[in-house]
Amino acid sequence: MGTHIRAIPEIGSGAALLLVRTTARLPTMADVTIRPATADDLPFLLETMVEIANSPYYRRTREDLLADPRVRHYVEGWPRPSDVGVIAVRGERPVGVAWVRFFGEDERSDGFVSEDIPELAVGVDAAERGKGAGRLLMTAVHDAARAAGIRRTSLSVDRPNRAAEMYLAQGYQEVRSTENSRVMVLEL
């Protein structure tokens, strides 16, 4: 294996383009498969939920987050009959998950819009972010939700989260916002 670097000067505005050719095999999204989430995936959903729920505005420990009913209800009793979820797997290792879950008025969450619109939760392993796994997961969970007869999904995203742009590109529309977060809905 080796790496070859060659600079090509004066591209566009005079900036140099640096080409890197390597014989090392880099991971791609072609190496990732999407499969339905099952009861066996609960530990991965729990760890992902801890990461999702740890807002930059208010950091909490894993124990505090899992003790919080507003966080725990995203995974408690997984899977409920109406839950729809998918897992992104590289080899045998889960690298991301997306799921939708219906909540009642008594279980309101940050992304709650109404009882007939399930809320989306999506999380990707830090090492996999920015490579397309999130988009793959979103497409797969939206397809699975449509197949289950779901017509809309909602989500809540913190303002500094780069994923907000991905949600907008997927067609989500902002329906309300606060100083720190945005709630969005997608017509499937």
* pTM value > 0.85: no
Q: Classify residue 132 as left (phi > 0), alpha (psi -120 to 50) or beta.
A: left
For the domain that residue 80 is a member of, what is the CATH number?
A: 3.40.630.30
Contact between 19 and 25 under an 8 Å Cβ cutoff? The reply is no
Q: Would residue 70 count as lying in a domain?
A: yes
Percent of the chain predicted with pLDDT > 70? 82
Q: Would residue 20 count as lying in a domain?
A: no
- The range of the structural domain enclosing residue 74 comes to 27-187
Domain count for the chain, please give it: 1
pLDDT in tens, 68-121: 888 888 999 999 999 999 999 998 899 999 999 999 998 888 889 999 999 999
* Higher pLDDT pick, 9 / 170: 170
Of 133, 138, 130, 135, nearest to 162 by C-alpha is 130
* Higher pLDDT pick, 160 / 134: 134
- Is pLDDT at 187 greater than 90 in this prediction? yes
